[in-house]
Structure 1
Amino acid sequence: MSDTQTLIENRPPSVATLFLDRVESTPDREAYRYPVPPASGKGPDEWRSYTWGEAAERVFAAAAGLIELGVEAEQRVAIASNTRVEWILADLGILCAGAATTTVYPSTNAEETAYILADSGSRVLIAEDATQLAKVRERRGELPELAHVVVLDEAAAAPAEGDPEGWVLSLAELERRGAARLEKEPDLIRKRVAAITADQLATLIYTSGTTGKPKGVRLQHDCWSYMARAIEASGLVTGEDVQYLWLPLAHVFGKVLTAGQIGVGHVTAVDGRIDKIIENLPVVKPTYMAAVPRIFEKVYNGVAAKARAGGGAKYKIFQWAAGVAREYARVSQDNYRRTGKADAPAGLTIKHAIADKLVYAKLREAFGGNLRAAISGSAALAPDIGFFFSGAGIHILEGYGLTESSAASFVNPGEAYRTGTVGKPMPGTEVRIADDGEILLRGPGIMQGYHGLPEKTAEVLEDDGWFHTGDIGELSADGYLRITDRKKDLIKTSGGKYIAPAEVEGQFKAVCPFVSNILVHGADRNFCTALIALDEPTVTGWAEENGMAGKPYAEVVASPEMHRLIEGYVQRLNEGLQRWQTIKKFRILPRDLDVEHGELTPSLKLKRPVVEREYKHLIDEMYAGSREA
């Protein structure tokens, strides 16, 4: 048996067990960093730390406090909060109490929050602030099982008229009660953790449904224990790494990173404020971080816009350097595949060195200067953007997984990564491609099923453990997976041609620096069209250079000049497509798509049915007068 197999097969029953082991083996090592804004509200944040031992004090106190509130094994405790260190400590407290965490996005409205809490049977809600507390106060009549709300923000934890006695308390009060209980029963948490079995429910994550109510994905303790060991066995991260974690922890992608950290024992800097990412990176200086493709697209568009604003010469230098980066990445990755050395011909190497001094070095510095690799997941990254960053020395390792598979089913293997693929299966995960191209997965990371929905579970999970992902893909001879599309998102034109819209959309994002989101439409039509949403900061910069400074965004994007500009990029896109894939008509949307309007999921994935329904009039307009209309 290999060391990898031994590590995975001898995994403990839960991440709670792993956490206790980590605290015992490295109590004085730094575990978490977190920002504290200045009292005045002005100036930079102060970053503070917890060692593993200090984190454990808070985790154990929270766990004992939940037990004191009457929480029992596998009962659900929900968390509705942005990403912050208290989210992680609370989640570990829930797991160490033997309970299960229900995750709720803080952006979820009151109606859906109440649905998730009721459907999960959550007994306690850990709410970030007054906003989250107000949602459940408004719906308290629909939540008879919700016995308590624990508020992270102590000032917001005051009871209101109509609250049952003791219904609201602060996290600080919960921890005080827990600490008092631990004084009487010092072994309480260790006993609870020792009683956890691998098949016990650990987490309920509700998928963001594009239609109908969200489904609760049941992930057992063994899923996270397996993921922690598989990440450790992959060798992608070490105990010396510093991770910058900003992803929503209500999402499985963010959640799996917390499990991996406990297994490996490195430092994690936690701050979910997206508007602070650019400011935080040079301070945190991470060696690795995970992100969704939209973040890399925004960085790329931002760099391109800055170069354009610097004048024609600067923009030409950037375009040249971007071309060199892509060529260098393609050649060096191809050479690594053939010879095991990521090198390039002398002429290209010289050009790359010049471009590095002019462009790439500044880009790496913006990421903190120490970034070894970035992991991209949740949606497809346009290959041209991946090759650009790769050539610039920011190695983006694409990965793949679903909520139902605990997120990390595939990841690119370090130096042997291949842009445009999602890499190889994590150790211990099996994959096969069905006759219709669907990707099937089996392994310890696969869910138990959908909460209270046995029929829905049976639709995707076979008796022998194979899970139907709903994604279409291809496996290379040496095991690298390429995702081509969602099975349900494939477009079949009225002429019988199949089109993968995500592939066309990704190519457009690589050629057009102004785009934020694009939706390609064409199912049962005789040609393809597109709805295009533009990036507001980039558009604002362009407007200032083109005599429209100060005009509202909606007016700028509706202008004939902007239409001509985007039309040029659509033509460039079409030059690289098959005839039936080309975009014959497009419309620019009056605003960007966002989570608040329900057009994107909290992990920034496009909700196609929502967008197509909202902008049906524009789609109908594009097909008006065609032979099918």
Structure 2
Amino acid sequence: MGELKTMVQYFYNTCSNFPQRPAQRFNKELFDDNNGMFTYAELKERVEDIACALMKIGFPYKGRAAIMAPTNYMWTQVDIAIACAGGVSITIYPTLSDSEVTYIMKDSKCTVMFVGNKEELDQVNRIWKQLKNLKTVIVMDIAFKGDNKKVYGIKDFIAMGREWRKSPANYKKYNKRKDSITLDDWFTILYTSGTTGLGKGVIITHWTASSRLEGTVNYFQKYDFDVNENDVTLCYLPLSHVFDRGSCQWLALTKGSLICYADKPATLIEDMQKYNPTWINCVPRLYEKIYITMQQAMAESSLKKKLFDWAVSVGMQALEYRKDSNGCYNMHPKFDLKSRLPLGLKIKYAIADKLFAKVRGLFGNRFHHSFSASAAISPDLLKFYYALGIAVVEGYGSTESFNAAVLNPITACKPGCMGKEANGSKCRVAADGELELSGAGIFKGYLNKPKETKEAFTKDGWFKTGDVVELTPDGYIKFIERKKGIICTSIGKNVAPAKLENLFSTSSWVEQIFLVGDEKPFITALIVPNFANFMALFKREGIVYDESKLVYENIGGMQICTKVGDDFINNKRLQELIDNDVKEANKKLEKFEEIKRYTILNQRFTESNGMITPTQKAKRRVIIHVYKDVIEKMYE
């Protein structure tokens, strides 16, 4: 591992090495700022303007500033600026409720808060009286005008910082503060998603973040796969979460790569074709939705489906020539698959690959890999993408490990496994199967929670992840389930919900599934249908339902149906297709794991109804409480 630097030093080194290289690109129609692009030299100027504005309003060294905004170019600029001002950033999902935001702001004692728009300012105004430490709010909207006392628009805030740093004495103060930051200083505080209660503030120092970054760079170099100034990444996941912020945003900032920003999650495919990224971070649900969409498109034509199925079968045959004796696949961009194929298969593959090229084109024309994390991805789904020539590298990390501590080698990807210890981390498995981590990237502790901090580490200093895993003979780590998530039935059997949930990940008909069975004789499930897919089916088949009962909600920039009428879920065609999915899943399970009974729900689990976190994880206590009577009825 190279010599560690603070995150501020990494940023300034990149600006010095690549001043005229593009740093950020975004939709200028949505954001009227600098014609939709910043070079690293321009980014440095913007960051210094914001950092100096913070100093102008009295933001102290080691002060705390919150960011509550959707992912966009300004989020990145503010993130860097807070660090350069010697501060600590606290990230807040813009979808959190008033009570959740209040808790984080009180717990972190932030004096400054950046919000994305007027709507988020309105939320802060509703709770401001409860926030005794909050002095200033900055709205990250170029068009917004504040009173420039307690509330600033970002344009005026930037101008104020630019004016302040024109003074040589002031700029000297800024540089002195910037240069005094050490590796032991706090860089950011990230709050866990809180599936079983309020989240905990995870303290990340500059050492924590930089050691993980250096480890990630070493991973790329080890496999002749280095990220550099010619690379392009596309940022679309929430920057409030560690995944995209660490291994997308900050990796790019460290290496001089270009960061592009999707307009919104709903336009990701269009944005990938517009910006042509070389790599992105993704979550399994995206791959699942692309797969389901392809399957539905092919099903509309028997000829198309027959051709596609043939091509995939050829791709699967060719995939065997990427596989080693341990069942691992070499997905390195430089791997020459065609030269390894026998003549007959090579001819068929050349035809099939013309179809695959169209699918790969969805990701742009320079794409060479993506990382998948935040949840397990189906092994069969991974192999499907591998057969199409799309490298999806699965990994594992947590907020407390500041990104991936486990990663598949790109030359030996093993479907069904999270990978091997990577990026400077050390891994071991405790006697009860819990994964423990040490080395690079491990957090300092939980804010204001000494008891929880002590409980999170072993006596010899290893972080207890709370995840149960298996170690394969060839050193790969396989995720089983969250320790607290394992269902213990009344007949003494342990069931891992993740295994069952994965069986429905590529279903066209089941959108969400929640497993129940703790201290019960068998497993039951709450199932949320894919309302959109059933609407399309009902339209094709002339099935009528009460459309006045449909409820829509804006999720990720898309109008999503979140509730339907009882007549919709009681439709025999819907029940038949969901029942088929359940029966097919049960065929792949042990008897004690089988879903014996289930209830189809007419409402989706959403953040707004409090049933899932911003990272789309189920809030078990909430769901069990809301559907207590429904659950009990399944056991009568």
TM-score by length of 1: 0.91
Q: Is the 8 A contact 2:69 2:75 kept in 1?
A: yes
Code of the aligned partner of 1:305: Q
Query: How do 1:290-309 residues align onto structure 2 when only pairs under 5 Å count?
Result: 290-308=281-299
The answer for the alignment partner of 1:563 in structure 2 is 575
Q: What residue in structure 2 maps to residue 252 of structure 1?
A: 242
Q: Distance in 2 between matches of 1:84 and 1:118?
A: 26
Helix, strand or coil at the partner of 2:51: helix
Report the CA distance shift for 1:22/1:441 in structure 2 as closer, same or farther (over 3 A): same
User: 1: distance between equivalents of 2:317 and 2:131?
Assistant: 58
Aligned partner (choices 15, 25, 28) of residue 23 of structure 1: 15
Q: Please show how residues 273-292 of structure 1 align to structure 2 within 5 Å.
A: 273-292=264-283
Tell me if the contact between 1:123 and 1:148 (Cα under 8 Å) persists in the aligned partners: yes
Secondary structure in 1 aligned to 2:202? strand
Match of 1:453 in 2: 449
Distance, in Å, in 2 between the alignment partners of 1:596 and 1:456 is: 28
State the superposition RMSD in angstroms.
2.4
Distance in 1, Cα, partners of 2:255 & 2:202: 26
Give the Cα separation in 1 of the matches to 2:320 and 2:433. Answer: 27
Per the alignment, residue 197 of structure 1 pairs with 182
Deviation at 1:386, TM superposition (A): 1.4
2:102 matches 1:140: no
Q: 2:528 matched to 1:533?
A: yes
Amino acid at match of 1:587: T
SS in 1 for 2:49: helix
| Residue equivalent to 1:593 | 605
Deviation at 1:352, TM superposition (A): 4.4
Matches within 5 A, 1:168-567: 168-184=151-167, 185-235=170-220, 236-239=225-228, 240-256=230-246, 257-271=248-262, 273-308=264-299, 310-322=300-312, 325=315, 328-329=318-319, 332-334=322-324, 352-358=349-355, 360-510=356-506, 512-548=507-543, 552=547, 553-554=564-565, 555-567=567-579
Moved more, 19-28 or 321-330: 321-330
The 10-residue stretch of structure 1 (289-298 or 79-88) with the greater mean CA deviation from structure 2: 289-298
Give aligned pairs, total.
604
Q: Distance in 2 between matches of 1:321 and 1:526?
A: 45
Deviation at 1:349, TM superposition (A): 5.4
Answer whether contact 1:494 1:525 (CA < 8 A) is retained.
yes
Corresponding position of 1:162: none
Opposite residue 175 of structure 1, the aligned amino acid is I
Contact 1:428 1:444 in 2 (8 A): yes
- Cα separation, partners in 2 of 1:237 and 1:587, compared to 1, 3 Å: farther
- Label 1:298 to 1:339 Cα distance change in 2 as closer, same or farther (>3 A): closer
Distance in 2, Cα, partners of 1:56 & 1:428: 29
- 8 Å contact kept, 1:330–1:387: no
Structure-2 change in CA distance of 1:432 and 1:24 (3 Å): same
| Conservation of the 8 A alpha-carbon contact between 1:442 and 1:465 | yes
Matched with 1:622 is 634
After the TM superposition, which of the residue ranges 221-230 and 14-23 deviates more from structure 2? 221-230
Distance apart, 1:546 and its partner CA: 2.1
User: Please, which runs of 5 or more residues in structure 1 have no aligned partner?
Assistant: 160-164, 625-629
Question: Cα gap change, 1:557/1:282 in structure 2, threshold over 3 Å: closer, same or farther?
Answer: farther
Decide whether the 8 Å contact of 1:301 with 1:538 is kept in 2: no
Q: What is the distance in 2 between the residues matched to 1:201 and 1:242? A: 29
Partner of 2:553: none
> Match for 2:4: what amino acid?
R
- Amino acid paired to 2:589: L
SS of the residue aligned with 1:183? coil
Aligned-residue offset at 1:226: 1.5
Question: Does 1:109 pair with 2:109?
Answer: no
Determine helix, strand or coil for the equivalent of 1:186: helix
Instruction: Note the alpha carbon deviations across 1:58-103, whole angstroms, 9 max, x for none.
Output: 0011111111111122211000100000000000000000100010
Matching residue's letter, 1:238: V
Give 1:475 deviation, angstroms.
2.4
Describe the SS at the equivalent of 1:36: coil
Residue aligning to 1:123: 111
Deviates more, 1:348-357 or 1:189-198: 348-357
Give me the whole-angstrom Cα distance separating, in 1, the residues matched to 2:380 and 2:462.
33
Q: Is the CA contact 2:406–2:423 (under 8 Å) kept in the aligned structure 1? A: no
Is 1:11 aligned to residue 11 of structure 2?
no
Letter in 1 for 2:392: I
Within a 5 Å distance, the mapping from 1:153-168 to structure 2 comes to 153-159=141-147, 166-168=149-151
Indicate conservation of the 8 Å contact 1:437/1:474, yes or no. Answer: yes
Once residues 205 and 327 of structure 2 are traced to their aligned partners in structure 1, the CA distance between those partners, rounded to angstroms, is: 37
Q: Counterparts of 1:540 and 1:441 in 2: how far apart (Å)?
A: 46
Helix, strand or coil at the partner of 2:512: strand
Change (3 A) 1:319 1:581: farther
| Residue type of the alignment partner of 2:378 | A
Would you say the 8 A contact 1:356–1:392 is kept in 2? yes
Unmatched segments (≥5 aa) in structure 2: 548-563
> Percent of aligned positions with the same letter in both sequences?
32
Amino acid at match of 1:374: S
Change (3 A) 1:334 1:537: farther
Between 1:275-284 and 1:229-238, the stretch displaced more is 229-238
Task: Tell me which amino acid in the other structure corresponds to 1:571.
Answer: K
User: With structure 2 as the length reference, what TM-score do the two structures score?
Assistant: 0.90
**Per-residue deviation at 1:566?**
1.4
What displacement does 1:521 show?
Answer: 1.8
Contact 1:282 1:369 in 2 (8 A): yes
CA distance in 2, matches of 1:615, 1:526: 18
Distance 1:595 1:348, change over 3 A: farther
Question: What CA distance in whole angstroms lies between the structure 2 residues aligned with 1:590 and 1:323?
Answer: 37
